[in-house]
Amino acid sequence: MRKNLYVLGLAISILATPIAGMAANITYTVNEAVGPGSVTGFITTDGAIGTLATSDLLNWNLTLKDGSGGLFVLGGPGSGGNSGEIVEGADLTATASQLLYNYSDADMGLLLFETPTPGTNGPFLCYTSSLDCSADSSTGISLATEPGETLTVDSPITGTGAIAAIGTVTPEPSSLLLLASGMCGLFAVARRRVPVTARP
């Protein structure tokens, strides 16, 4: 009996090890003021840690408010798909708990979410280190809620700052299914091997 439990515990730990090592998507919560306006929502990445590229951003849902009644929601592929994104430079980085942006780097970098695609003069949210996203700022955060960018609000920022903090970690459903089926199989085998005691 003790040997069977040992084998069962060993098998479970071996089965769980690859799943624990897999990179899971990370959803970061965005909630910050931009001039008189604000941006709230989330950004989901592929779980990469360190410098991020455009391909590392999987989804987003960002509510933009310009502080004077204008409101627009930018949605990624899994949230309506009304906008695109682009990452230029090496200013966007991720830790296990935060998305960070270096506003003081001189690499002409930016992180831009825009409707319908970057560069089309639609409503946008932009984090930049040296490129102008609007006429009013050279580094920091800018947003516009109207097509044509007729009203842009800005928060000039220098240095490195957090643009989002950890929300939830989402393991892949297939990994969870594999773990559950493996554990069920192991419990069935262990139960079958438990000796039946004689009844009085």
Task: List phi, psi (to 5°) of 137.
Answer: -140, 155
**Contact (Cβ atoms closer than 8 angstroms) between residue 91 and residue 70:** no
Give 162-199 pLDDT, tens digit per residue.
999 996 444 444 444 555 666 666 566 566 665 556 55
This prediction has a pTM of 0.72
Parse the chain into domains and list their residue ranges: 2-22+171-193, 25-170
Q: How many CB atoms lie within 10 A of CB 159?
A: 9
Please identify every stretch of the chain with a pLDDT value under 50, giving residue numbers as ranges. 5, 7, 10, 14-22, 168-176
Which residues, at least 6 apart from 191, have a Cβ–Cβ distance to it below 8 Å?
A: none
Of 37, 107, 33, nearest to 69 by C-alpha is 37
Name the pairing type of β-strands 71-75 and 25-34: unpaired
Q: Is 160:102 a contact under the CB 8 Å cutoff? A: yes
